[in-house]
Structure 1
Amino acid sequence: MILPNGLSAFPITPADPSGCVDVGALRRLVTPLRDAGVDSIGLLGSTGSYPYLSRQERRRAVEAALDAVGTDVPILVGVGALRTDEAVALAQDARAMGAAAGLLAAISYTPLTEDEVFAHFVTVARESGLPLCIYDNPGTTHFAFTAALVGRLSREPGVIAVKSPACAPPEITAHLQGLREAVPAGFSLGYSGDWNTVEALLAGADTWYSVMGGLFPQTAMAIVRAIRTGDHTAARELDVRLQPLWSLFKEFSSLRVIYAYADALGVCHTDPPRPILPLPDRARDRVVQTLRGLDLR
């Protein structure tokens, strides 16, 4: 298993109002990611609306993505579910279809304890055989992984990485150091939250789990390549140029922004899953005008 590293690009999952995945549109979204040289594709993440899709439609999405990119780029698949047995089944599906790893969040209606989350992850990893990335998304799940819990899970067979929400730049170095001290060498530490992630990479994070990268992979890869070559000035300059996009993400949510612009580009004509509503016309016009001015690719 190749550990997640570099850019993991997260596309949306186009679907009709009944939740049927538009496999043709999904192929059009993931093929440019492969062509841009992304390090992995994060399929069915939060940007990919995994909680809104049935098991059958998740399978169709994985099949379509793998059909489009083959073995050229590893695919990480969201396997989160309320019930542990459902998450096991989803992870088994992903593994059988050829996914490289699963993204598992601590989804729950009743608040979970650390011991419950630990048992959930260990069971899914053991019974599915699919390598797992811890998906720490407290803004959605209302469960935050402590460094101690990440460290505990990192020593379990099959748990290979963590995807954390990126802290503000002043706190990122300390957060990353706390995780490094908790996990064994080689365990992949990555961040999401595009507006803070460049500084996380500069601080030494392994992976950028990127919403922007799911639609603009060449621009995202330019940042990753600058960091890899030690050109931190160029990476920060690109980050500054993207501030209008980060502002839109914060104001409207990255999900709504990407749906609006994917439609404007003609990549796919689909709305977010209800009850999420598409942006109103005025906000959509702002998004389109702003992003066209940035000339993202």
Structure 2
Amino acid sequence: MKILVVADPLEAFKITKDTTFAMMRELQKRGHALAACEPEHLQWQSGQPVTAQVRHVALTGDADAWFKATGEGREPLHTFDAVLMRKDPPFDSEFFYATHLLEQAEREGARVFNSPRALRDHPEKLALMEFARFAPPTLVTRRPEAIRAFHAEHRDVILKPLDGMGGMGIFRVGADGMNLGSIIETLNQGGATSVMVQRYLPEIVQGDKRLLLIGGKVAPFVLARIPQGSEVRGNLAAGGKGVAQPLSDVDRRVAEAIAPTLAARGLLLVGLDMIGDKVTEINVTSPTCFQEIQQQTGFDVPAMFVDALEAALA
């Protein structure tokens, strides 16, 4: 099959940990042909199908020059057997527009994963609210007074922007309310920007767990991202230590309650974040942690993903 990967520039990949690279390596291993482009290479001209300026690539096995281009040109997306949308956040206006072009390509016959409409319908912080019974007390608001009232009720809270990634812009405010006003001003920007506030979960010291939902099933291992030193964030990008662990009974029960709903909406791959027994985020744009789990446990997450992709295309 011919597979098009829409992602950040290949030259910027850190292949020792990049999940998209792990997907591509498994796809090539199975004999699938690979091509790649960036969202900026998508194009839709009236009366014509959605196209992209693509590079056909082959993985070399060389750590330094890990791919080589075998050809390039502008091609309709519907001529590929599958399109993998793997652009990293932020979910900005250009990402939003890219999903519209990809959805038009679907109408022309393209198979896109994750579904462009599902990407739009499940912003990674807000998607949590549909499954509030599995989440800690959570507030999304632009009103500073509502944030203050939530803090007064729960005393120890986490504040974060809706469009953050990798732990960016996350703050903890304890019972003394130290710096709450300044943090609200920073995140809320005078009422212009929505903020998510959640009750602090002390179980974070055991790690912010990334569960992988693939084709409606739950991978048997999670990656617990454990904060280091005085850091409150477990995100790997914020210096957290990733420790792979078997899926617990509680993890499985929560994930299996959520996974079928999301899979039915066209979300082939979901990264479910849990602290203790609570879901804190639902990541759908470009979930990661394949390589960390595989390296520590031997479980072949990329193979599980490509199995699910091939089954979806059958």
* TM-score, normalised relative to structure 2: 0.27
Query: Which of structures 1 and 2 has the bigger CA Rg?
Result: 2
More helix by share: 1
* TM-score, normalised relative to structure 1: 0.28
More strand by share: 2
